[in-house]
Amino acid sequence: MDYCRLGGLGTINAHALVIFVTGETIMTWYQIKVPKSAVSDLAHKALLGMIRHCLGAARHPKGAAVYHRHTDEGERFYFFSPQAAKVCKQTLKIFGARKKFRQPDVTGFTLLGLGHFE
């Protein structure tokens, strides 16, 4: 079947085609990577403050989770659940977050909770 001719849709990408045909919604996760540098600890503290602010302002929505891992090489990785990404849009933009279309493996990551933001 020629999906490009349905209702004048023009070209559509594979994810849009899946949503169009099956009616499913893709839940997008986001990743922020802070590389090791002279200012990575400052970036980490700033990011934690921004996460605390946006989740707090949204009253910690159900399903809003942020996972963190600090590697032996000094890099820091953060994964935002779709619900957390929804309320932290500006933070994701500022830190150049990358989209992940599937839930990442967060084995070895710490789930950031209220105690981790202090």
Q: Where are the domains of the chain?
A: 29-117
Which pLDDT value is given to residue 20?
A: 41
- The pTM (predicted TM-score) of the whole model is 0.74
Say if residue 42 is exposed, middle or buried (CB neighbours under 10 Å; 0-12, 13-18, 19+).
Answer: exposed
Give SS3 for 101.
Answer: coil
Tokens 């090791």 correspond to what residue? 36
CA distances from 71 to 28, 38, 89 (A): 24, 16, 25
pLDDT at 31 over 70: yes
For the structural domain made of 29-117, what CATH number should be given?
3.30.70
* pLDDT tens, residue by residue, 53-110: 999 999 889 999 999 999 999 999 999 999 999 999 999 999 999 999 889 999 999 9
**CA pair distance 55, 63, nearest whole angstrom:** 11
Place of tokens 């921004």: 50
Give mean pLDDT, residues 28-33.
96
Element (H, E) at 26: none
User: Does residue 1 surpass a pLDDT of 70?
Assistant: no
Q: Using CA atoms, how far apart are residues 117 and 23, in angstroms rounded to an integer?
A: 38
Between 7 and 48, residue with greater pLDDT: 48
